[in-house]
Protein backbone atom coordinates (compact mmCIF):
# COMPACT_ATOMS: atom_id res chain seq x y z
CA UNK A 1 0.00 0.00 0.00
CA UNK A 2 1.12 3.41 -0.87
CA UNK A 3 1.06 6.05 1.86
CA UNK A 4 -0.83 9.21 0.85
CA UNK A 5 1.36 12.29 0.48
CA UNK A 6 0.63 15.41 2.47
CA UNK A 7 -0.73 18.23 0.37
CA UNK A 8 1.84 20.76 -0.83
CA UNK A 9 0.13 23.60 1.05
CA UNK A 10 0.49 21.78 4.40
CA UNK A 11 4.21 21.20 3.77
CA UNK A 12 4.75 24.88 2.93
CA UNK A 13 2.80 25.95 6.04
CA UNK A 14 4.91 23.70 8.31
CA UNK A 15 8.21 24.97 6.88
CA UNK A 16 6.99 28.57 7.12
CA UNK A 17 6.05 28.09 10.79
CA UNK A 18 9.44 26.53 11.58
CA UNK A 19 11.21 29.38 9.77
CA UNK A 20 9.25 32.03 11.71
CA UNK A 21 10.00 30.33 15.05
CA UNK A 22 13.75 30.21 14.27
CA UNK A 23 13.68 33.81 13.01
CA UNK A 24 12.09 35.08 16.24
CA UNK A 25 14.48 33.00 18.38
CA UNK A 26 17.62 34.28 16.64
CA UNK A 27 16.34 37.87 16.67
CA UNK A 28 15.74 37.73 20.42
CA UNK A 29 19.13 36.08 20.93
CA UNK A 30 20.78 38.90 18.99
CA UNK A 31 18.95 41.54 21.02
CA UNK A 32 19.88 39.99 24.38
CA UNK A 33 23.54 39.36 23.53
CA UNK A 34 24.31 42.72 21.91
CA UNK A 35 25.66 45.55 24.04
CA UNK A 36 23.50 48.63 24.47
CA UNK A 37 24.94 51.81 22.95
CA UNK A 38 26.53 54.05 25.55
CA UNK A 39 24.81 57.42 25.89
CA UNK A 40 27.12 60.19 27.05
CA UNK A 41 25.89 63.64 28.04
CA UNK A 42 26.83 66.07 25.24
CA UNK A 43 28.11 68.55 27.84
CA UNK A 44 30.81 66.05 28.80
CA UNK A 45 31.94 65.73 25.20
CA UNK A 46 32.56 69.47 24.76
CA UNK A 47 36.25 70.46 24.68
CA UNK A 48 37.70 72.16 27.76
CA UNK A 49 38.68 75.84 27.74
CA UNK A 50 42.38 76.06 28.69
CA UNK A 51 42.19 79.69 29.90
CA UNK A 52 41.75 80.51 33.60
CA UNK A 53 38.55 82.16 34.69
CA UNK A 54 39.80 85.12 36.75
CA UNK A 55 36.29 86.03 37.88
CA UNK A 56 35.79 82.59 39.45
CA UNK A 57 39.17 82.84 41.20
CA UNK A 58 38.32 86.21 42.76
CA UNK A 59 35.00 84.81 43.97
CA UNK A 60 36.88 82.00 45.71
CA UNK A 61 39.14 84.48 47.49
CA UNK A 62 36.13 86.44 48.74
CA UNK A 63 34.49 83.44 50.39
CA UNK A 64 34.63 82.86 54.12
CA UNK A 65 36.69 79.88 55.23
CA UNK A 66 36.14 78.23 58.59
CA UNK A 67 38.74 76.14 60.31
CA UNK A 68 37.62 73.04 62.13
CA UNK A 69 37.80 74.66 65.58
CA UNK A 70 36.29 78.04 64.60
CA UNK A 71 32.71 77.10 65.27
CA UNK A 72 31.00 75.12 67.99
CA UNK A 73 28.61 72.41 67.03
CA UNK A 74 25.18 72.91 68.56
CA UNK A 75 24.43 70.54 71.39
CA UNK A 76 20.85 69.71 72.02
CA UNK A 77 19.90 68.55 75.49
CA UNK A 78 16.53 66.94 75.55
CA UNK A 79 14.94 66.88 78.97
CA UNK A 80 11.74 65.02 79.69
CA UNK A 81 8.79 67.10 80.77
CA UNK A 82 6.94 65.69 83.76
CA UNK A 83 3.20 65.99 83.48
CA UNK A 84 1.09 65.53 86.62
CA UNK A 85 -1.40 62.68 86.52
CA UNK A 86 -4.95 63.82 85.85
CA UNK A 87 -6.98 64.42 88.97
CA UNK A 88 -10.08 62.31 89.24
CA UNK A 89 -12.90 63.44 91.48
CA UNK A 90 -13.85 60.84 94.06
CA UNK A 91 -16.65 58.80 92.66
CA UNK A 92 -19.64 57.90 94.75
CA UNK A 93 -20.43 54.24 94.70
CA UNK A 94 -24.07 53.31 94.82
CA UNK A 95 -24.89 49.91 96.18
CA UNK A 96 -27.21 47.76 94.15
CA UNK A 97 -30.08 45.77 95.63
CA UNK A 98 -28.10 42.53 95.64
CA UNK A 99 -25.24 44.22 97.48
CA UNK A 100 -27.64 45.68 100.04
CA UNK A 101 -29.01 42.21 100.76
CA UNK A 102 -25.50 40.91 101.38
CA UNK A 103 -24.69 43.80 103.69
CA UNK A 104 -27.85 43.36 105.73
CA UNK A 105 -27.16 39.70 106.46
pLDDT tens per residue, range 40-96? 898 888 888 788 888 888 888 888 777 777 777 777 788 888 888 888 776 776 667
Residue 8 lies in a domain: yes
Residue 82 forms part of a structural domain: no
Domain assignment present for 10: yes
Domain count, the chain: 1
Residue 101 inside a domain? The answer is: no
pTM for the full model?
0.34
Residue span of the structural domain in which 12 resides: 1-33
Q: Which residues contact 95 (CB under 8 A, 6 or more apart)?
A: 103
Q: Establish if 102 belongs to a structural domain.
A: no
**In whole angstroms, how large is the CA radius of gyration of the chain?**
46
Q: How confident is the model at residue 102 (pLDDT cuts 50, 70, 90)?
A: low
- Furthest C-alpha separation in the chain: 118
Cβ atoms of 95 and 103 within 8 Å: the answer is yes
**What is d(CA 31, CA 37) in angstroms, rounded to the nearest whole number?**
12
Is residue 57 one of the residues assigned to a domain?
A: no
Residue 28 lies in a domain: yes
Q: Beta-carbon neighbour count of residue 51 at 10 Å?
A: 6
Amino acid sequence: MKKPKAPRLVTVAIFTTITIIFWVFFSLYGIFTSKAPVEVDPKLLEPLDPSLDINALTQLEGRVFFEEGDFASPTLIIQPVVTPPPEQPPSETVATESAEELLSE
